[in-house]
């Protein structure tokens, strides 16, 4: 038995050696065949190869092709320049933010309490992402040179009126527009001027001068779009003008910023590819009508990840008509109240209501106070129509003209009541409130930093102060749209001095901030406790 197994093994090994020898012979033979016996290459013979020819078959254009050809002439590239200013903040942070729910008001104003809890993937798009300065580019904070940014827009009037995003042009000193027909050799484009802007919806209208009528687009009815509809986006991502992408409507009525800052921003969500530079460009339906203005994206990489947001065209049309009016501003109604969204079922049960708005605060001297409303009242109807929630009340009040009246039904201590309220101008109502807060003594303000600067601070722990080699206060929260927010301050940073005055304790901080008034230059000396080796960062601006 053993001899049989040994003979089998010997036979198998011999077979393997024969196979290897055969392969080696074939490889050597192939080498000699390619290089000749003496190792020299032979001339390759390709006389039997057939040359390729381009087939001239035509593919019928699909709807995307037709729309692109129709709309592209009216889509423009927008370039802006911002010159360095002595008090301007030259450090542009590129971070995400998460904002917790906060008191809301029908006009979006008042004392907000947006709390920043770390970072999520919603980029800060307002002059920091789409149309804004990318990190370490365009001058940045190293050289202090001119900052250039990029965006898109589209022509809606042959006389040269263009719709884009407010954050594309908000801080620009010079604006240039390049048409699809302008030569590439032309530097930045044609000079443009701002007609009007609206921060609440992040929309702007600009104009270029022209001697001939320009191509335009049509605005469609965004209320008619449905989830799943095909859409097409055109813009200038990464300075690649006339870039066309396609996708579908993913969702409607998206609000990506909670609280007052998002009250008038109810977006169309799409998976059409949108990237930096697309901001302000059109989102189109399959009729070639604009149904949205591309404004923001959700991203983990500062690029496209399939979730984009466009301001609906019905909102755009309303804002545009206000911005081209003699006032060049959007006038929204207000009754001067604040309220909280997302109240628990327990609150509803205790206060005895299913629908309506629980008033959290009444603006002193505002329309609601004059009408007799108080904190704790539950607004249930407006002119006899049931109020569903805060958004419903916001939209209804904001759409009404100042000076008009409305009949409000409300509950107080479980009893129904009615009152007539005169709608006020949102900007004026809360401008008066801000003036009252600014003129109040620091001890009456609760927190001077929160009222004037928009930040809440606490004293740094001894361990953190030791790392910084200086006492400091730590920023706990930054209110969206506040002075501190516009300067780029963020939670977690340490403030060691303001205007050269030490702020190592809360008392020192309150004393310095309490003396600040509108028109003052404010310079923060800031350090990052996680990177103390980076040293002091000087951030400043003029208090408005």
Q: Which residues are catalytic?
A: 167, 202, 279
What Cα–Cα distance (Å) separates residue 219 from each residue in 1, 87, 273, 292?
A: 92, 41, 21, 8
In angstroms, rounded to a whole number, what is the distance separating the alpha carbons of residues 94 and 117? 16
> Are 365 and 347 in contact, with CB atoms under 8 Å apart?
no
∠ CA 122-123-125 to the nearest 5 degrees?
Answer: 125
Structure token digits, residue 490: 């963020």
Interstrand relation of 337-339 and 357-362 (parallel, antiparallel or unpaired): antiparallel
Neighbours of 343 (CB within 10 A): 17
Q: How far is CA 537 from CA 463, 524, 526, in A?
A: 20, 8, 5
Two tokens at 7? 């003979």
Q: Where are the beta strands (DSSP E) in 84-208?
A: 147-157, 161-165, 174-178, 190-198, 203-208
Burial environment of residue 423 by CB neighbours within 10 A (0 to 12, 13 to 18, 19 or more) = buried
Contact yes or no for 178/214 (Cβ under 8 A):
no
DSSP class of 122: B
Radius of gyration of the chain (CA): 32
451: three-class secondary structure by DSSP? helix
Instruction: For residue 363, report the phi and psi dihedrals to the nearest 5 degrees.
Output: -65, 125
Provide the token pair at 49: 């190869």
């Amino acid at each position: 038995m053993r001899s049989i197994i040994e003979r089998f093994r010997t036979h198998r090994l011999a077979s393997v050696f024969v196979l290897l020898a055969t392969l080696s012979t074939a490889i050597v033979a192939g080498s000699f065949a390619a290089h000749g016996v003496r190792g020299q290459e032979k001339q390759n013979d390709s006389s039997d190869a057939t040359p390729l020819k381009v087939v001239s078959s035509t593919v019928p254009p699909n709807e995307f092709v037709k729309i692109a050809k129709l709309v592209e002439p009216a889509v423009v590239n927008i370039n802006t320049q911002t010159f360095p200013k002595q008090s301007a903040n030259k450090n542009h942070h590129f971070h995400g933010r998460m904002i917790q729910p906060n008191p809301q008001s029908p006009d979006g104003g008042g004392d907000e309490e947006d709390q920043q809890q770390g970072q999520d993937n919603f980029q800060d798009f307002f002059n920091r992402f789409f149309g804004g300065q990318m990190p370490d580019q365009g001058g940045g904070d190293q050289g202090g040179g001119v900052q250039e940014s990029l965006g898109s827009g589209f022509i809606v009037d042959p006389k040269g009126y263009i719709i884009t995003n407010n954050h594309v042009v908000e801080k620009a000193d010079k604006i240039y527009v390049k048409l699809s027909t302008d030569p590439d050799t032309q530097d930045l484009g044609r000079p443009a001027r701002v007609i009007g802007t609206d921060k609440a919806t992040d929309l702007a209208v600009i104009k270029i001068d022209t001697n001939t009528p320009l191509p335009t687009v049509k605005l469609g009815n965004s209320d008619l779009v449905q989830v799943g509809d095909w859409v097409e986006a055109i813009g200038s991502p990464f300075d690649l003008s006339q870039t066309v992408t396609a996708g579908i409507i993913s969702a409607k009525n998206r609000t990506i910023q909670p609280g007052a800052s998002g009250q008038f921003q109810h977006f169309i969500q799409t998976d059409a590819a949108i990237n930096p530079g697309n901001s302000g460009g059109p989102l189109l339906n399959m009729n070639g009508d604009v149904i949205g203005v591309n404004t923001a994206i959700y991203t983990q990489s500062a690029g496209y990840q399939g979730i984009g947001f466009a301001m609906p065209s019905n909102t755009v049309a309303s804002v545009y008509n206000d911005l081209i009016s003699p006032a060049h501003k959007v006038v929204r109604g207000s009754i001067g109240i604040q309220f909280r969204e997302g109240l628990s079922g327990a609150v509803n049960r205790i206060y005895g209501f299913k629908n309506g708005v629980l008033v959290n605060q009444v603006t002193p001297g505002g329309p609601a106070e004059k009408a007799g409303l108080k904190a704790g009242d539950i607004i249930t109807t407006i002119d006899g129509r049931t109020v569903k929630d805060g958004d419903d009340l916001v939209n209804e009040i904001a759409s009404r003209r100042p000076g008009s009246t409305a009949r409000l039904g409300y509950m107080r201590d479980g009893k129904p009541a009615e009152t007539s309220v005169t709608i006020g101008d949102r900007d004026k109502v809360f401008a008066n409130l801000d003036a009252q807060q600014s003129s109040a003594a620091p001890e009456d303000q609760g927190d001077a930093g929160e009222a004037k600067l928009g930040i809440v601070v606490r004293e740094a722990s001894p361990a953190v102060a030791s790392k910084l080699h200086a006492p400091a206060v730590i920023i706990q929260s930054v209110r969206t749209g506040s002075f501190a927010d516009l300067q780029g301050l963020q939670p977690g940073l340490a403030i060691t001095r303001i205007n050269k005055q030490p702020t190592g304790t809360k008392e020192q901080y309150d004393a310095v901030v309490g003396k600040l008034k509108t028109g003052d230059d404010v310079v923060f000396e800031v350090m990052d406790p996680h990177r103390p080796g980076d040293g002091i960062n000087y951030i400043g601006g003029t208090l408005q």
